[in-house]
Structure 1
Amino acid sequence: MNILQLYYFVNIVDCNFNLSLAAKKIHISQPALSQFISTVERDHEIELFNRKNSRLQGLTTAGKEVYEYAIKILALSDELDHIIHYESLRQKGTIRIGLPSLILETYFAAYFPKLSVENMEIQISISEDGSHALRQKLIKDDLDIAILIEPTLLDEKVYEQHTICFDEMVAFLSQNNPLAKKNCLNWRDLDKYPLATFNSSFMTHQLVSEKLEENHLDSQILFTSSSWSYLMDATQDTDIVTILPRPVEKHLNRDLSTIRKFKDPIPFNFTICRARHEKHEPLKDYIFNQIVSNFAPANT
C-alpha cells in the first residue's frame, strides 16, 4: 500500500468506519472510497475489515496490524515532508518585500536584519514606498510580499491578507499650541488651524483627507510631505497641527512637541499581503509565516 492508500485506510478507521464521514474528511466521493477498499483487499488478497450486512463493523486481526504500521508510516512521512520543506530553505533565493518607510523604521528596523542573520541562505530585498505604489508592485508581481496600510483595496479571493497591527492616527502639535490644553480632540477642534500630513502617495493621506472632508476641514491642509520628521518639526513654534500615525511618537522631541488622540480616531492598521497560490515556494512561505507569527495580534 502506498502513502495515499494508507492515509485513506487510517481515516476510515478514525471516522469509526463511517464511509460517508471519511469521504468528506479526505475530499473524495463515497463510491470512490468504497472502490478503494475493494481494490486494496482484492489486490493484496487480504481482508482488512469485518462486515455485517455489507457495512464495515471493525478491523480484522490483519487490519489491526496494518493500522498500527500505517500510523507509524504516516507519522514518518509527515516528518520527512517537514525535513524536505525546511532543507529547501538552504538553497539560495531572494524574497522581495515591500513596505512603507514609516512601518519599516518603526516596526521592522531590527526584525529584518535578525531574520537575515538567522537565515543567511535567504536574500531579503526590501523595497520602500507608499501603500498605493506597493500595491501596484504586488499586483504586477514585482513583490512577493507587501505590507500595506488598510484598506488594502486588494481582492481577498486573489490575495491572502493578515492584519498584523492595529493602531491610530493622532495629532502632533507644539507644546504652546492652544489645543495642547485638551486631553483629547474632536475633529471640529481643528477648525481654523493649519494642517499637515503625508502626501498623496501614502494611503494615510487618503484616510486623513476623507475624515477632514467629513468634518468640512479639507481646505485647511496647508502642506504635505513624505517626511514624517519634517512634518513633526513643522509644528514647533507654530499653530500647525500635523496628523500622522501614532507610532511616529517614538521620535518626538517632548520638550517642544506633544501629541493628542482623537475621540473618533482614524485607524492606522497594516496588513501583510501575498498572491494566493495552490502551493507557495517553501522559501517565500516560510518568511511570510514567520512575519505573521511574530507580528499578528494574539486575538486575530
Structure 2
Amino acid sequence: MELRQLEYFQMASRLRNITRAAERLRVSQPNITVAIKKLEAELGIQLFDRSQKQLSLTPEGAVFLNRVELALRNIQDAVLEVNDYKQLQKGTIKIGIPPMMGAYLFPKIFSSFQRRYSHLEIFMHEEGSMSIREQLERDELDFGIIIISGASSHLQLLPMTKDQIVCCVPEDSPLAQKKSISFNDIAEENIIMLKEGSFLRQTILGKMKEENVTPNIVLESNQVVTLKGLVASGVGIAFLLNMVVEDTPGVKAIPLADPISVDVGLAWKKDRYISKAAQSFIDFCKDLLKERKANSEK
C-alpha cells in the first residue's frame, strides 16, 4: 500500500469524481483509476459504488476513509514538525482569501508580513468564505482570512474587523435616494450576485427566501471590480461589504433596513499541528490588532 494511493482515494472520495480529482492533484485520470483499483485489490473490498453517475463510497469505503483522513493528517503534521526541528530558514503558508478580502484587506496584511518575514512564502487561494471554511476543515489550507460569522466549532478564530452588508445601486437610480433598503424594495430589480461558495450570497438568498422574495439574478461574478462596474453602468444592483464600495464612482452603498453585520478574521483548524511559519503569521496578525487598538485609543 502506497501513500500516493491513499491520497488519490481521499481526493476522489471528497470530490466524488475521478476526473476532478485528477485535475486537483495534477495527474492523469488513468493514474487515479489504476491506483484505486490496486488499493481495492489489496484490501479485498470495493471502496466505491460505481453503479451511479457520481462516485459514492460503499459502507466499507466510508470506514476506510475516516482512518485514511486521520493517517494523512498525522503524516502532514509530522512532516511540518520535522521541518521545524531542522530549523530551516524558510517555510510556506497556504491561505484562502475571498475576492473581497483579496482585493481590499489582504494586500495591506501581506505587504507588512512579507517585509518582516521575507524568508517565508505565501500561496494564496481565492475562493468564497464558505468554500474556504470547508477546505480548512479538510486540511487543504493553513489559514483563511474570511467572514467568520457562524463558522464551525472545529475552527480556531481570530476576529480582526466587523463590517456591514450593503446594497449597491447606481447613483442615478431612484433607489439611491433611500436611506435604507428592504428586500421588498428590490423585488423587481436585476441582481448581480457573487458566485456559489460566498457567505454573502448564502446570507442574502436566505434572507430573501424568508421575505418570500424571488431574486432576479442576471449575472454572477466573484470579481469585485467587475461587480461594481456593472452596478455603476446600471446593469443591476449588488450586495457587498461596505468596506469595498466606499467612494466608488457611480455607485451608492445603502444600508439594509434590517442590518446584517459580519465579523471578518483569521481562521484555522483547531487540531492541526501549527508550524513555525504558520505560528509566525498568527503572531503577526495578533500584533497588527494590538497596534490598531493602540492607535484607536490615542
Matched, 1:97 2:91: no
Distance 1:278 1:211, change over 3 A: closer
Counterpart in 1 of 2:266? 272
Q: Aligned with 1:167: secondary structure?
A: strand
- Residues 208, 266 of structure 1: 8 Å contact kept: no
Q: Aligned with 2:184: secondary structure?
A: helix
- Residues 200, 239 of structure 2: 8 Å contact kept: no
1:179, distance to aligned residue in structure 2 (A): 1.0
Bigger mean CA offset, 180-189 vs 272-281 = 272-281
TM-score by length of 2: 0.62
1:200, distance to aligned residue in structure 2 (A): 1.4
Counterpart in 1 of 2:160? 164
Bigger mean CA offset, 89-98 vs 191-200 = 89-98
Distance 1:282 1:125, change over 3 A: same
Q: Which residue identity is paired with 1:193?
A: E
Distance 1:232 1:280, change over 3 A: closer
5 Å-filtered alignment, 1:70-85, equals none
TM-score by length of 1: 0.62
Residue 198 (structure 1) aligned to one of 173, 184, 194? 194
Give per-residue Cα distances to partners, 1:208-234, cap 9 Å, x unaligned: 101111222233333322222222222
- Rounded Cα–Cα distance in structure 1 between residues aligned with 2:259 and 2:220: 20
1:100, distance to aligned residue in structure 2 (A): 1.0
- Rounded Cα–Cα distance in structure 2 between residues aligned with 1:92 and 1:237: 47
1:120, distance to aligned residue in structure 2 (A): 1.7
Q: Aligned with 2:104: secondary structure?
A: helix
Counterpart in 2 of 1:108? 106
Matched, 1:235 2:231: yes
Counterpart in 2 of 1:148? 146
Counterpart in 2 of 1:135? 133
- Rounded Cα–Cα distance in structure 1 between residues aligned with 2:87 and 2:108: 22
Counterpart in 2 of 1:219? 215
| Bigger-Rg structure (1/2) | 1
Q: Which residue identity is paired with 1:188?
A: N
Q: Structure 1: which 4+ aligned runs deviate by more than 6 Å? A: 86-90
Matched, 1:285 2:283: no
Q: Which residue identity is paired with 1:116?
A: Q
Matched, 1:188 2:188: no
Counterpart in 1 of 2:244? 248
- Rounded Cα–Cα distance in structure 2 between residues aligned with 1:142 and 1:239: 37
Counterpart in 1 of 2:251? 257
- Rounded Cα–Cα distance in structure 2 between residues aligned with 1:89 and 1:171: 50
Q: Aligned with 2:105: secondary structure?
A: helix
* Structure 2 segments unaligned to the other structure (5+ residues): 1-83
The two structures, once aligned, show a CA RMSD in angstroms of 2.8
Residue 174 (structure 2) aligned to one of 174, 178, 203? 178
- Rounded Cα–Cα distance in structure 1 between residues aligned with 2:216 and 2:275: 48
Q: Percent identity?
A: 19
Q: Which residue identity is paired with 1:238?
A: G
- Rounded Cα–Cα distance in structure 2 between residues aligned with 1:177 and 1:239: 11
- Residues 227, 238 of structure 2: 8 Å contact kept: yes
- Rounded Cα–Cα distance in structure 1 between residues aligned with 2:127 and 2:272: 29
Give per-residue Cα distances to partners, 1:225-262, cap 9 Å, x unaligned: 22222222222353722111112214711xx2222112
Distance 1:124 1:167, change over 3 A: same
Give per-residue Cα distances to partners, 1:163-213, cap 9 Å, x unaligned: 212111111111211111112223322232222221112121101101111
Q: Which residue identity is paired with 1:218?
A: T
Counterpart in 1 of 2:56? none
- Rounded Cα–Cα distance in structure 1 between residues aligned with 2:262 and 2:85: 38
Q: Aligned with 1:95: secondary structure?
A: strand
1:152, distance to aligned residue in structure 2 (A): 5.1
Distance 1:283 1:89, change over 3 A: farther
Distance 1:192 1:160, change over 3 A: same
- Rounded Cα–Cα distance in structure 1 between residues aligned with 2:96 and 2:283: 16
- Rounded Cα–Cα distance in structure 2 between residues aligned with 1:87 and 1:283: 12
- Rounded Cα–Cα distance in structure 1 between residues aligned with 2:247 and 2:178: 22
